[in-house]
Amino acid sequence: MTAQTSISSVTARTGERSLTAIVLAAGKGTRMRSDLPKVLHAVAGRSMLGHVLAAAREAGATRIAVVVEPGQEAVAAEIARAAPGASVHPQIERLGTAHAVLAAREALEAGSDDVVIAFGDTPLVTGATLTRLRAPLADGAAVAVLAFTAENPAGYGRVLVQDGRVVAIREEKDASAEERAVTLCNAGLMALSGPHALALLTRIGNANAAGEYYLPDAVGLAVDDGLAVAVVPVDEAEAQGVNDRVQLGVAEATIQARLRRAAQIGGATLVAPETVFLSVDTVLGRDVLVEPHVVFGPHVIVGDHCVIHAFSHLEGATLARGVQIGPYARLRPGAVLETGSRIGNFVEMKNARLGEGAKANHLTYLGDAEIGPGANVGAGTITCNYDGVNKHRTEIGAGAFIGSNTALVAPVSVGAGAIVGAGSVITTPVPADALAIARSRQRIIEGVAGGMRAGLQAIKAAKRSAGL
């Protein structure tokens, strides 16, 4: 059986069942040393919480409930953005993971076939893994736990198995020496049968070294009730939570590796994959060539047969087929490049459209602008779009030629086929097919350069003598 067949089989077993996902996101994250709530730290352009919410949706969640620290408006806003319709439940007291889950009791009481419990600081967990986690519930299990085999199990809860059956999960501080030798470790995530979930969770006690209500104790209670408990294996790396900036960097590296591989399998060439950074929503078409040291921020779509030259940075940009950019190009949100257009080295675009076949090859800023098909924008040209208070647009017609070192003071337009002479400052509309030259007449005064140079050198020598 192939991996794809296996995933399809699991999906078929869970597809007709309703799912409530409860995401615990109330951790303070003090080890992050940050003013930003831990779950809002980003990995590949998406918050850690956003990753987990996306995985829950991918796994088929029909209801999502998120448990949060009271008063965290930023977290609530991220939930509303990433998972519209999800309910938010404050955790007033911190009495353990089972107690945190019961903060979302209202969602549990609403009823569903399956309940999956996840954590807002585990961004590497995929929707496919959550689907595998809930699959045993369709086969009659009351509880399914995600577990991995660790070379060094220190610090993890141990999954205890007797005669091939799970009997308990023991936190390390409560484990015996024999139990601490077990290498099968609890990944934390758990699936519960909806009809059994509340009955198990409300019976969990706090008779342990920490005096907390541990979610893993649901396993022992299910065993005592004669209910089936399943273990679902997962790679240790995928199950890792993020508690500090070092672990955040590890998570970033892991997701980048996934994204690069997916891009390559999808038909893009990454010349030096380890130097290219992608966002989770980056779209690269077929036969796209990405040279080294390129960064794709959020919301970038690149069409087929595009070339992204080295050291370019893209965010919120859309590139049609056959576009070339860079090296050292910067595309900011709202940049749209039509088929066959090109921007070159040290060109920046923001909220601007470059028409089909148009080009701006060197040292140019195009902001709040519409550049028509086939237009040429010379080196050093800028659209002066900001007057200190408001932004204004520049329109350049099809086939227009903008000479080097031109300043287009918006709002202004240059008609189709018009030519603007190099070094011009354009402040009024230029009609189609017109020639516009806006610069002072050149003056030549012969025989004065030597005297000017001697005077400047004398001033420089005087400053040096004065120690300036």
| pLDDT tens per residue across span 42-96 | 999 999 999 999 999 999 999 999 999 998 999 999 999 999 999 999 998 889 9
If you average pLDDT over residues 327-352, what whole number do you get? 98
Q: How confident is the model at residue 11 (pLDDT cuts 50, 70, 90)?
A: low
Q: How confident is the model at residue 467 (pLDDT cuts 50, 70, 90)?
A: confident
If you average pLDDT over residues 406-412, what whole number do you get? 97
pLDDT at 4: 47
Q: How confident is the model at residue 13 (pLDDT cuts 50, 70, 90)?
A: low
CB 16 within 8 A of CB 57: no
SS (H, E, C) the chain: CCHHHHHHHHHHHHCCCCEEEEEEECCCCHHHCCCCCHHHCEECCEEHHHHHHHHHHHCCCCEEEEEECCCCHHHHHHHHHHCCCCEEEECCCCCCHHHHHHCCHHHHHCCCCEEEEEECCCCCCCHHHHHHHHHHHHCCCCEEEEEEECCCCCCCCEEEEECCEEEEEECHHHCCHHHHCCCEEEEEEEEEEHHHHHHHHCCCCCCCCCCCCCCCHHHHHHHHCCCCEEEEECCHHHHCCCCCHHHHHHHHHHHHHHHHHHHHHCCCEECCHHHCECCCCCEECCCCEECCCCEECCCCEECCCCEECCCCEECCCEECCCCEECCCCEECCCCEECCCCEEEEEEEEECCEECCCCEEEEEEEEECEEECCCCEECCCCEEECECCCCECCEEECCCCEECCCCEEECCEEECCCCEECCCCEECCCECCCCEECCCCCCCCCCCCHHHHHHHHHHHHHHHHHCCC
If you average pLDDT over residues 341-357, what whole number do you get? 98
| pLDDT tens per residue across span 272-320 | 999 999 999 999 999 999 999 999 999 999 999 999 999 999 999 999 9
Is residue 435's pLDDT more than 50?
A: yes
Domain boundaries, the chain: 3-239, 245-436
CATH of 245-436 among 3.30.470.10, 2.160.10.10, 3.40.50.300, 3.40.50.1000? 2.160.10.10
Is residue 115's pLDDT more than 80?
A: yes
Superfamily of domain 3-239: Spore Coat Polysaccharide Biosynthesis Protein SpsA; Chain A (3.90.550.10)
Is residue 21's pLDDT more than 70?
A: yes
| pLDDT tens per residue across span 359-392 | 999 999 999 999 999 999 999 999 999 999 999 9
Is residue 422's pLDDT more than 50?
A: yes
Q: How confident is the model at residue 10 (pLDDT cuts 50, 70, 90)?
A: low
Contacts for 385-391 with beta carbons within 8 Å, 24 or more apart?
Answer: 385/410, 391/351, 391/367
Q: Which tops the pLDDT comparison, 81 or 173?
A: 81
Q: Above pLDDT 90, what percent of the chain?
A: 83
Q: How confident is the model at residue 349 (pLDDT cuts 50, 70, 90)?
A: very high
pLDDT at 3: 45
User: Of 227, 218, 61, 215, whose CA–CA distance to 131 is shortest?
Assistant: 61
pLDDT at 2: 43
Average of per-residue pLDDT values in the chain: 93
Catalytic residues: 362
| pLDDT tens per residue across span 26-56 | 987 889 999 999 999 999 999 999 999 999 9
Q: Above pLDDT 70, what percent of the chain?
A: 97
Window from 48-62, 124-138, 174-188 with minimum mean pLDDT: 174-188
Q: Name residues whose C-beta falls within 8 Å of residue 339's C-beta, 6 or more positions apart in sequence.
A: 303, 320, 321, 322, 323, 356, 357
Q: Which tops the pLDDT comparison, 236 or 316?
A: 316
pLDDT at 14: 65
pLDDT at 153: 87
pLDDT at 396: 98
pLDDT at 1: 39
If you average pLDDT over residues 417-423, what whole number do you get? 96
